[in-house]
Amino acid sequence: MGEILLPLLILCPLVASMIISVSAGRVGTCAIGAIACVGVGLSAILGIILSVMLLSGPAAGVLPVVLWRWIHVAGFSADIALTLDRVSMVMVLVVTVVGLLIHVYAVGYMREDPGIARFFSCMTLFVAAMLVLVLASDLLCLFIGWEGVGLCSYLLIGFWYDDPANTAAARKAFYMTRMGDAALLCGLLLLATAAGSLHIGAVLAAVADGQVAPSGVNVAALFILVGALAKSAQVPFQTWLPDAMAGPTPTSALIHAATMVTAGVYLIARLHDLFAMAAPVMALTAVLGTLTLLMAACTAMVQSDLKRILAWSTISQLGYMFLALGCGVWQAALFHLMTHAFFKALLFLTAGAVIMRAGHEQDIFRLGGLRHAMPGLTAAFVVGASALAGLPLVTAGFYSKEMILSGVWHVHFGLTREWTLSGHPLWGMALLGAFLTALYIFRCVFIVFCGKPGTVATGRTSRLMGIPLGCLCFLSLCGGVIEMPDTLPPLHLFTALLDPKTPLSHADEPVWLVLAGALAPLAGLGVARVLWGRAAPVMREIPGQAAITRLARAGWGMDALYDLVFVQPFRLLTWLAHHDILDQAITGTGRMTRAISGRVFRARAGFLDKLAVWGTRARGWAGHLLGRLDNGRVRWYAAWIAGGLCAGLAMAVLS
């Protein structure tokens, strides 16, 4: 039963995508939306059925399906194989359920767009690719999905291709993730060489058995980390995600907030056993995650574009997940991944609806006072913002962030035998990040929804868009209560779900730790209210002239740096390559040969001429001399005969 349902889970959106792309231009807008929603909806239903089947089975049960043999050669084998275990189950539910809500929303959002068929075929293809990524039990098979989602992301960021800026953003996203993909491929090659297979179980077993040298494990983990960092837009690859907001808003919600960018987190969570054996890489992951979360939060603070604020906040939240992964609490990372998918999708979709009704205005300073014009959307955005900030007890974000913070507090990085590193500084920075998160998102809330009205809101949000928002509101508020710190009612459904045998213990958790985690967002909210929330705000805009603000607004100059270090040299190189140097060289050689042969030809001709002239002259002289002999005097003839005879005799005698 499960063996049939699991491939169907992927097939439904895939078939929907193919139907839409084949029938493009022949069926109406509504039909296209319906096909897409049915495809993803069927997938969601199948996902729920399979989850129920999996959970009702034995505790450690998995549902493996080997579809067919992909590549079998001497020393290496790969299969097209899927596995539904508890980790992938969580992801499947997130992808299909959130995906379905976003698809329903998109039917309303994209109704007027002429390219709706292309949009939905890419979106459903994305869902299929994402499901391949999630369900694959072979890393090479996972790589199909990994690149597939990248391709869909490229197509959707550049969806409105009439503007070259959009396609440039799309290419940037693809190139940067492609660099990570190349690194990931190197990691896969290393593991494949060592383990002879890329089946996740086999790879982890090989690593555990010591078939891979410790240095090899570190290098492989590093390669995979680079791939994950690029896909999840972490430092130093973060620059593509803010630009990726050029795509339609449902795309930003689905791909660049809820699912694709979390693929890196998922991959590392999948391979957490491998990473556990690479302590330095783990520490690096944690440090990069912390760096990203602080840097992105600071950047979000000074942005003025609503979608870019949310993009930077996504980067920052992904930083939390990487921090958790680096600290070994991958369960917390997955938990935050799930709640983040809910509230960030909510924030993006609400922002999309707001922007649409405010006449496509994205600048938060030109929006403003929208509270009265659109109360429903305001409520939804506030719910999303609270969950993102992690306001204590009532939001999902609080519980997941709390789980990460407590995990970070307890961690010790054993870099070498004698040198260990405590996680406390990272905890402090993560707490600061929580404060900043509340600050920047409520800055956004107060500026956009309170104060004086800026733009005139038109129309109303259609029901197709409203219902998904309602569902996501509910999930953002209540999706977190399945896992609570021990200080509160000790409820550990999520960790028990992931790993029934050894649930994560929170036993020795001091009360003040939870309290600190709860107070940081509240403090952020308070400060934001003081700064931007009053009737006459203390400051509307953070002074834009300050050098640091300008620097931060531009993403800390990383774009400019990359432009200088990578893009311009590459441009120069391609400019140099405009003429094939080797071609020039060989053509030049040819030309030179021709020139030389021409000269040789001329020289030869000249030489022959001269030779002929000389020859004629010499013949003349010779004739003259011979003529002299032939002078008609008998004495001379007799003398010649006698001389010749003497000479002949002398030669005959002497020889």
Partner 1 sequence: MTPLPALVLLPIVGGGLAWLAERIQPHTASPARDASWWVALGILIVETLLLVLVTVRHPDHAGPWLGHFSTPWIPAMGIAVRLDMDGLSLSLIWLSLILCFLCLFLATRQVTVNAGAFHFLFLATLTGIIGTFLATDLFLFFFFWELMLVPMFVLIAAWGHEDRQRAAMKFFMFTQGSGLLMLLSILGLVIAHYRESGVLTFDYFTLARTPLSPALSMLLMLGFFTAFAVKLPVVPVHVWLPDAHTQAPTAASVLLAGILLKTGGYGMIRFNVMLFPDAASRFAPIAMGLGVAGILYGAWLSCAQDDVKRLIAYSSISHMGFVLLGIFTGSRIGMQGAIIQMLAHGLGTAALFLVAGAIQERLHTRDMHRIGGLWAAMPRLSSTGLFFAVAALGMPGLGNFTGEFLVLLATWHVSPTIATLTTAGLVLSAIYALRMVNRIFLAAARADLRPVRDIPARQMAVFACVMAFLVVLGLYPQPFMTFSTPSPLPVTDVTGQTAATP
Interface residue with partner 1, options 10, 80, 245, 552 (CB under 8 A): 80
- Cβ 261 to partner 1 shortest distance, Å: 19
Binding flag, residue 154, partner 1 (CB under 8 A): yes
Helix (H) or strand (E) holding 63: strand 63-73
- Cβ 219 to partner 1 shortest distance, Å: 9
Phi, psi of 70 (to 5 degrees): -95, -70
- CA atoms 51, 95, 282, 83: torsion sign: positive
Closest-CA residue to 567 (of 25, 168, 187, 210): 168
Q: Which is nearer to partner 1, 7 or 369 (CB)?
A: 7
Interface residue with partner 1, options 1, 4, 74, 507 (CB under 8 A): 74
Rounded to whole angstroms, the Cα distance separating 409 from 419 reads 18
Interface residue with partner 1, options 41, 102, 126, 181 (CB under 8 A): 181
Binding flag, residue 549, partner 1 (CB under 8 A): no
Q: Who contacts 652 (Cβ-Cβ below 8 Å, separation ≥6)?
A: none
Phi, psi of 369 (to 5 degrees): 60, 30
Q: 208: which 2 tokens?
A: 């555990």
Interacting stretch for partner 1, rule CB under 8 A, among 172-180, 313-321, 479-487, 548-556? Answer: 172-180
Closest-CA residue to 397 (of 406, 407, 405, 387): 387
Binding flag, residue 75, partner 1 (CB under 8 A): yes
- Cβ 24 to partner 1 shortest distance, Å: 7
- By the 8 A CB rule, do 628 and 640 touch? no
Interface residue with partner 1, options 151, 432, 516, 519 (CB under 8 A): 151
Q: Which is nearer to partner 1, 179 or 421 (CB)?
A: 179
Binding flag, residue 21, partner 1 (CB under 8 A): yes
Closest-CA residue to 440 (of 301, 252, 280, 239): 301
Interface residue with partner 1, options 59, 71, 478, 638 (CB under 8 A): 71
- Cβ 21 to partner 1 shortest distance, Å: 7
Interface residue with partner 1, options 360, 452, 501, 578 (CB under 8 A): 578
Binding flag, residue 163, partner 1 (CB under 8 A): yes
Strands 63-73 and 76-84, how do they pair? antiparallel
Q: Which is nearer to partner 1, 18 or 523 (CB)?
A: 18
Site for partner 1 in 618-647 (CB under 8 A): none
Binding flag, residue 580, partner 1 (CB under 8 A): yes
Q: Which is nearer to partner 1, 151 or 464 (CB)?
A: 151
Number of residues in contact with partner 1, rule: CB under 8 A?
55
Rounded to whole angstroms, the Cα distance separating 558 from 235 reads 10
- Cβ 591 to partner 1 shortest distance, Å: 12
Interacting stretch for partner 1, rule CB under 8 A, among 143-151, 255-263, 489-497, 647-655? Answer: 143-151
Rounded to whole angstroms, the Cα distance separating 312 from 360 reads 20
Interface residue with partner 1, options 190, 271, 364, 404 (CB under 8 A): 190
- Cβ 192 to partner 1 shortest distance, Å: 6
Interface residue with partner 1, options 144, 379, 491, 551 (CB under 8 A): 144
Rounded to whole angstroms, the Cα distance separating 147 from 269 reads 19
Please tell me whether residue 138 adopts helix, strand or coil conformation.
strand
Interface residue with partner 1, options 27, 31, 93, 186 (CB under 8 A): 186
Helix (H) or strand (E) holding 278: none
Binding flag, residue 112, partner 1 (CB under 8 A): no
Closest-CA residue to 368 (of 446, 454, 445): 454
Binding flag, residue 582, partner 1 (CB under 8 A): yes
Rounded to whole angstroms, the Cα distance separating 134 from 131 reads 5
Binding flag, residue 218, partner 1 (CB under 8 A): no
Q: What is the CA radius of gyration of the chain?
A: 38
Interacting stretch for partner 1, rule CB under 8 A, among 276-284, 510-518, 548-556, 579-587? Answer: 579-587
Rounded to whole angstroms, the Cα distance separating 242 from 296 reads 10
Rounded to whole angstroms, the Cα distance separating 245 from 247 reads 5
Q: Who contacts 128 (Cβ-Cβ below 8 Å, separation ≥6)?
A: 10, 11, 13, 14, 17, 148
- Beta-bridged to residue 521, according to DSSP, are none
Rounded to whole angstroms, the Cα distance separating 451 from 470 reads 25
Interacting stretch for partner 1, rule CB under 8 A, among 137-145, 298-306, 491-499, 607-615? Answer: 137-145
Interface residue with partner 1, options 72, 628, 633, 635 (CB under 8 A): 72
Binding flag, residue 577, partner 1 (CB under 8 A): yes
- Cβ 200 to partner 1 shortest distance, Å: 16
Interface residue with partner 1, options 40, 192, 293, 309 (CB under 8 A): 192
- Cβ 586 to partner 1 shortest distance, Å: 5
Please tell me whether residue 434 adopts helix, strand or coil conformation.
helix
**Residue 27: CB atoms within 10 Å:** 14
Interacting stretch for partner 1, rule CB under 8 A, among 170-178, 291-299, 441-449, 595-603? Answer: 170-178
- By the 8 A CB rule, do 558 and 242 touch? no
Rounded to whole angstroms, the Cα distance separating 454 from 449 reads 10
Interface residue with partner 1, options 111, 178, 529, 553 (CB under 8 A): 178
Binding flag, residue 562, partner 1 (CB under 8 A): no
Binding flag, residue 402, partner 1 (CB under 8 A): no
**Per-residue DSSP letters for 332-347?**
HHHHHHHHHHHHHHHH
Q: Which residues bind partner 1 (CB under 8 A)?
A: 21, 24-25, 68-76, 80, 140, 143-144, 146-148, 151, 154-155, 158, 161-164, 167-168, 170-171, 174-175, 178-179, 181-183, 185-186, 189-190, 192-193, 573-578, 580, 582-583, 586-587
